[in-house]
Amino acid sequence: MATFDIVSEIDMMEVENSVNQTEKEIAQRFDFRGGKSSIELDKVGKKIKIIADDDMKLRSIHQILSSKMAKRNLDLRSLKYGKEEAASGNTIRQTIEIKAAMEKEEAKEVTKAIKDAKLKVQVEIQGDQVRVISKSIDELQATIAMLKGKELKFPIQFINMRA
C-alpha cells in the first residue's frame, strides 16, 4: 500500500527570519524614524506582536512582513490577524497568530474534498494530519493534483510519501 500525509505546517525558522528582516527594515526606514513602531515574534506562543504609531504605519508593517514572508516561500494563509487595539501612548497594537497545525474542521474539509472527487483512495484523520492510502501511486498523485487545484482557505503540504 502506498501512503502520504497531508499537513498544514509552517517553518518557524523562516518566520523568525522574516520577522527579523521586517524589524531591520522598520529601523532603517525614514517614515518610521522617531516613532514607537515595532514587531516581535513569540516563538513559544506562535504569535507576532506589532505595535504601530498609527493605522498607516500598521498597514506598512503588514506589507513589509508579507513581502518578506513571500520571498521565503511562506504561505500567508497561515497568518491569522487579530483585532487592532488602542495601546498606551497613542499607539495601535495587533497580534497575529501563526497557524502551525491543521484543525479538525480543516481536516474534515480535506477528507470531504478527496471523497467527493471519487478517487480510489482511503482517507483517515490522524490528529493534526490526514493520511491518504491507496494501492496505486497514480491515485495518490491524482489526489495531490486535485488538492493543489482546490482553493482552500489554509495552506497544506504533502509529506511522507511511501510506495
Tally helices (H) and strands (E) across the chain.
Answer: 4, 8
| Domain that residue 127 falls in | 2-8+101-162
115 plus 90 within the same structural domain: no
Entry pTM: 0.80
- Paired strand residues for 125: 130
19 plus 80 within the same structural domain: yes
* Segment 70-127, tens digit of pLDDT: 999 999 999 999 999 998 888 999 999 998 888 899 999 999 998 888 888 999 998 8
* Segment 24-82, tens digit of pLDDT: 999 999 988 888 899 999 999 999 999 999 999 999 999 999 999 999 999 999 999 99
85 plus 153 within the same structural domain: no
79 plus 140 within the same structural domain: no
pLDDT at 163 over 80: no
Q: What is the CATH number of the domain that holds 150?
A: 3.30.70.860
Domain termination site, one of 98, 116, 144: 98
